[in-house]
Amino acid sequence: MGNVGKALSRFISKITKENLWIYVINTLANGPKTGYEIVKEIKGRYMINVTTVSVYVVLYKMERDGLLESFDKDGKKYYRVTEEGLREYGDAIKALVDLLSRFNCTLKCSGDATGGRP
């Protein structure tokens, strides 16, 4: 992405590291995974430089909130999405699409990113 300014850097952090739960659920869309597999996929697929500890903290909170459930298989802990997790994920994606559509309208209607404002 190159050299980014402070504002853009904060924005990227907010939509990635501070919202890891969305990436976790998306990662689990194809079935259960271990914490290690989730970390590896988030780093590789989404190019988010997260610590293993931060992902495990998110997994713990998600399980506590009913978005995930864990189970043991072959001596390893696996995570899978619950129905509540899928509902929350769907609502989050709808909210994101709604937000982006507002920006797209501003861009299309005004011809520039500022909407005619400074």
Q: Are 75 and 34 in contact (CB under 8 A)?
A: no
HSE of 17, CA atoms in CB hemisphere, 13 A? 12
Using CA atoms, how far apart are residues 89 and 108, in angstroms rounded to an integer?
A: 28
**pLDDT, one tens digit for every residue, the chain (118 residues):** 567 789 988 888 888 888 999 999 999 999 999 999 999 999 999 988 899 999 999 999 999 999 999 999 999 999 999 999 999 999 999 998 888 888 766 555 554 544 444 3
Domains belonging to the chain, first-starting first, are: 6-110 (1.10.10.10)
pLDDT for res 12: 83
Query: According to DSSP H, which parts of 1-118 are helical?
Result: 6-15, 20-27, 35-45, 52-64, 83-110
pLDDT for res 116: 40
Residue type, 34: T
What's the pTM value of the predicted model, to 2 decimals? Answer: 0.79
Using CA atoms, how far apart are residues 49 and 16, in angstroms rounded to an integer?
A: 9
